[in-house]
Amino acid sequence: MSQGYHAQPPVNTLRRSAWADFLIVGGLLILYESLRLHFLKTAGIRASGELDSRLRVMGENLIPGGEWFTTGLILAALVLPMLRESQPSFIYSLQEIPRILLEGFGIALVIWVGARLWSRMVPELVAFTQEHMAKGVSLLGAAIYEEGVFRILLLAIIYGFLVRFGTGFLVSGICAIILSALLFSMAHHNGPPQTPADRQVFLFRAASGVVLGISFLLRGGGTSVSAHALYNALADLSAPGR
């Protein structure tokens, strides 16, 4: 008896369906942009106030409609794997979404516990987390665009480049994860508004970037974005003074 077409999983059983990644990240993008425009009422600056707002200004100076430049790149990076995925199934992708969100929560919890343990040695880390995540909308925006730039775009490009030029899959993955994590941490200390230079905060961000990079490479963009967003929420809710 043949199985229904919708029940066929993607060929790569370790990594989640690219269609599910697109549904999760695309849905969060729509939610974030709606909240941003409703609450901030400022089309020129995103709520995250960091990487994406700087790239948006850069895009506006380069091309018409450049304020959506970063968004377009992220969506394109999500669509390309969908085109290559064999036997895509919308129904199967919908079934994947709860599992991806559950994975994301588990990864977020690991990072959050690490932050609590780390903050015992570096109390400034907790205070900075509370200040950095003062606006609820920015929690979602930071997760989407930081993951979009540093994992969905940058990590994937570095990994593909290394593999194409003969580096083994394992070595390429390790190099791409570490390099993207370091750039992820560095970006928070460069350009306004920036984090004051602090070695421990830098190392924590880099370590978090490694965890998120592993989750992206093994499970997909939906997992890393949801993990980042859920960690932001956990960190904000558990910050002193809440």
180 neighbors 151 (Cβ within 8 angstroms):
yes
Rounded (5°) CA angle 92-222-212: 140
Residue 4 has pLDDT above 60, yes or no: no
Tokens of 96: 């994947």
Place 129 in a pLDDT band, splitting at 50, 70 and 90.
low
C-beta neighbour count of 188 within 10 angstroms: 19
Tokens of 105: 């929560």
Which of the pair, 10 or 73, is modelled with greater confidence? 73
Place 161 in a pLDDT band, splitting at 50, 70 and 90.
very high
| pLDDT tens, position by position, 11-41 | 444 567 888 888 899 888 888 877 777 665 5
Is 190 contained in some domain? yes
Is 5 contained in some domain? no
- Which class for 93: exposed (0-12), middle (13-18), buried (19 or more C-beta within 10 A)? buried
Distance CA 126, CA 133 (A): 11
| Residues constituting the chain | 242
In the chain, how many domains are there? 1
Is 66 contained in some domain? yes
Is 242 contained in some domain? no
| pLDDT tens, position by position, 67-92 | 677 788 888 898 888 887 766 566 77
Residue 118 lies in domain: 14-237
pLDDT for the residue numbered 3: 41
> For the chain, what percent of residues have pLDDT higher than 90?
24
For the entire predicted model, the pTM comes to 0.79
Is 117 contained in some domain? yes
Distance CA 217, CA 200 (A): 26
User: Among 45-54, 135-144, 221-230, which stretch is predicted with the lowest mean pLDDT?
Assistant: 45-54
Is 9 contained in some domain? no
